Amino acid sequence: MLKAGDLMTKNVVSVKKDTPIYEALELLRKNDITGMPVIEDDKTLIGIITEKDVLKLFYADGGDQDKTVDHFMTQPAVSFGVDETLESVCDLLMVKHFRRVPVVSTKGKVVGIISRPDIIDYIIELRRQSVEMNSETNSISTAV
């Protein structure tokens, strides 16, 4: 059975809790992502910062300009181990309406992230392979 570690994106954009919030916003937009893990120096997961978390900046009166990720992040972050099943990940993404979830080592270090698009790409690839296999089967049966 497919595991979270098999499908995760390994190159993870992340921030630390003392990152200025506007710097984090720029990272989200620059990398075209909707959220990212918040980590300690040793890559231990401590939270997640998402577009939803920072929407309250719309209502800011200017006092939030000097705030950091720590003021906005969701913690603790929900995460999965590399050996968790893809089915478990999908179940959570559907039930909790999350868009992404960090993947961590047994020691809680961020080693990847798995998102809805990662799973959708996998579904498309499965479909493509199925169509190719059916085409080859049909070609063989008509050739006989």
Mean pLDDT, rounded, of the chain: 90
Specify the pLDDT at position 59. 80
Query: Tens digit of pLDDT for each residue in 2-30?
Result: 999 999 999 999 999 999 999 999 999 99
Specify the pLDDT at position 119. 93
What's the token pair of residue 51? 């577009």
Domain count, the chain: 1
Please report, for the domain that includes residue 11, its CATH number.
Answer: 3.10.580.10
Q: Which domain holds residue 136?
A: 4-143
